[in-house]
Amino acid sequence: MNTSAPDPFSWAFSLRANFYALSPGETYYENVWQVPNMVAMALPVMVLMSVTEALILKYTNRHNNWRLHNAVLNYSSGGLTEASNNFIFRGAEATLYIWIYNHWRLTYLDWNSLYTYFFAMLGVEFCYYWWHRASHETGLMWAAHSSHHSSEDFNMTVTARTSWTMRPFRWIFFMPLAILGLPPAVFLVHQQLSFVYAGWTHNETVPKLGKVIPGLGHVIEFIFHTPSHHRVHHGANKYCIDKNYGQTFIIFDRIFGTFAEEREDEPLVYGTLSQSEHNSAITIHISPWIELWRKVQSMTTFGDKVRALVYGPGWTPGQPRLGDPAHIPDVRGREKIQLHLPSWFSAYMLINSALIFFSYFEMMGRLKNLGNWPPLVNLTYIFFSYTALGGLYEGRHYGAVLEIIRLLAFFGLAYVHPVFGSATTLKVVSWVNLLNVSLWPAVAVFTFRRAENSKKHKKTSEANKAKVN
């Protein structure tokens, strides 16, 4: 058993966890139930780095790389995913991993061995590389993963923009580690640390390390995945497509031929090639699946329908498996889609999205003391809330309708079901939501006006297209 359990309130631990810099002894756990939530422990420094980055971007006149509504959507997306993972998928994944480990392992690795520590570090990275590469090279998995790439801003908040629809695919790529005898607790520790390390690589403020630390910086960037490498991975420029899949290391990209160096003579453009405009955490996750369904339906043969699922997202009949590179559009100089909102509405969205996000973390702290139903009820509440708030962000009529239902339902739900464990927290949130109810008429009027303006704009655009044709 780990006798040097980390202090969740230690800033030193949080800082080191963000850079995978924990000593092996701090990661030794014999049983899964002993493993702490290292993502939560690393969160204080992660948030501090994210705020620092936002300030740097603002005061260096690069504020267009950090936009409030995009950051709110990123954390909302992360809240949906983490709630789904912790309340549903993670327990199922751990159960499957443990079952395969107990029944199919070929050997046994000591949970408190230094050799096991390094095997876990490299093994998790190797499996992650192939999961990540498959997520870009198959249409089915790209539908789940593309939401992470859909942000046109690139900063640390994008770390949270993950998809809850990816989890059913991801677990299988790590099962070989169970067969090779990696203990479940050790696997869980390194899977978390690898994810946390990825947080700082999502930023534009850290230059190539070779510039900052000559010599040593080049060595680090030859071995480890860094912000420069990850900027390439998220870039929509032609040379960036399907490159730099690593999460902690870059060595497997170099070995398997998927590495690309960041070019200083070509500004990067972020987002997907299609540049879809979605401002709801729900539609960010769902719309890629709708697009995939339409693509499958458009195929005329059964074989092409299957290939639309298992070949690359850029594939069309008659092309190579990953599509024709010549058909990749040149996005250099592409302007970002802008969402102009008044400050009061942005503040309303920020506060309410943050409260929903907080409800997940608050329940996570009490998860072991609750039964099966409270987390599922809270998960339903989170999904419904982000559907309502997403409708408001997108200027849809249903957003205003669902929002008042959400606010009123909270008062009935909160006093029957323990959404918040602390009486003080419940009181504060209740007062905030009471204020929100009084603000709802203004929110509804503003949303209805946006919806009507959107309809008029769409009709005008269609009329202009008809004239051209």
For the cut 80, the answer to whether the pLDDT of residue 7 exceeds it is no
Task: Give residue 269's Cα distance to chain centre.
Answer: 19
* Closest among 326, 333, 331, 204 to 275, alpha carbons compared: 331
- In terms of Cβ atoms closer than 10 Å to its own Cβ (0-12, 13-18, 19+), residue 300 is exposed
For the cut 90, the answer to whether the pLDDT of residue 91 exceeds it is no
pLDDT in tens, 297-332: 999 999 999 999 999 999 999 999 999 999 999 999
pLDDT in tens, 178-233: 999 999 999 999 999 999 999 999 999 999 999 999 999 999 999 999 999 999 99
The C-alpha atoms of residue 233 and residue 242 are separated, in whole angstroms, by: 7
Kindly give, in sequence order, each residue whose CB lies less than 8 Å from that of residue 123, ignoring residues fewer than 6 positions away.
177, 180, 182, 190
| pTM (predicted TM-score) | 0.93
All structural domains of the chain with their residue ranges: 11-256, 343-461
- For the chain, give the longest Cα–Cα distance: 75
121 with 190: CB under 8 angstroms? yes
Alpha-carbon separation of residue 212 from 65, 216, 250 (angstroms) = 22, 9, 19
Give the per-residue pLDDT at 10: 83
Helices (H), 61-113: 68-84, 90-104
Q: DSSP letter at 224?
A: B
* Closest among 456, 448, 454 to 398, alpha carbons compared: 448
Report residue 237's pLDDT band, with 50, 70 and 90 as the boundaries: very high
375-385: average pLDDT: 88
Joined tokens for residue 462 = 């269609």
Least confident of 27-31, 148-152, 249-253, 463-467: 463-467
Give the per-residue pLDDT at 463: 67
Task: Give residue 293's Cα distance to chain centre.
Answer: 22
Average per-residue pLDDT for the chain: 91
19 with 197: CB under 8 angstroms? yes
The C-alpha atoms of residue 171 and residue 75 are separated, in whole angstroms, by: 23
Q: DSSP letter at 87?
A: I
Q: Please give the backbone phi and psi of residue 191, each rounded to the nearest 5 degrees, phi first.
A: -65, -40
For the cut 90, the answer to whether the pLDDT of residue 464 exceeds it is no
335-362: average pLDDT: 92
Give the per-residue pLDDT at 21: 95
The C-alpha atoms of residue 199 and residue 160 are separated, in whole angstroms, by: 8
Give the per-residue pLDDT at 199: 95
* Closest among 116, 92, 95, 103 to 179, alpha carbons compared: 103
Which SS3 state, helix, strand or coil, does residue 249 take?
strand
Kindly give, in sequence order, each residue whose CB lies less than 8 Å from that of residue 321, ignoring residues fewer than 6 positions away.
137, 311, 312, 315
437-464: average pLDDT: 90
The C-alpha atoms of residue 298 and residue 282 are separated, in whole angstroms, by: 25
Strand partners, 270: 235
Q: Please give the backbone phi and psi of residue 177, each rounded to the nearest 5 degrees, phi first.
A: -65, -35
Q: How many CB atoms lie within 10 A of CB 445?
A: 11
Instruction: Give the DSSP letter string of 151-174.
Output: -SS-SGGGGG---GGGHHHHGGGG
Least confident of 300-304, 369-373, 431-435: 369-373
Residue 115, CA atoms < 13 Å, CB-side half-sphere: 4
- In terms of Cβ atoms closer than 10 Å to its own Cβ (0-12, 13-18, 19+), residue 220 is middle
* Closest among 340, 341, 319 to 328, alpha carbons compared: 319
The C-alpha atoms of residue 248 and residue 213 are separated, in whole angstroms, by: 19
363 with 419: CB under 8 angstroms? yes
Strand partners, 249: 224
Q: How many CB atoms lie within 10 A of CB 257?
A: 7
Q: Please give the backbone phi and psi of residue 270, each rounded to the nearest 5 degrees, phi first.
A: -105, 165
Joined tokens for residue 396 = 């849809």
For the cut 90, the answer to whether the pLDDT of residue 361 exceeds it is no
Give the per-residue pLDDT at 65: 86
65-74: average pLDDT: 93
Name the range with the highest mean pLDDT among 75-84, 351-360, 385-394.
385-394
The C-alpha atoms of residue 268 and residue 230 are separated, in whole angstroms, by: 11
Burial of 192-203, coded b for 16+ CB within 10 Å and e otherwise, reads: bbbbbbbbbbbb
The C-alpha atoms of residue 6 and residue 261 are separated, in whole angstroms, by: 37
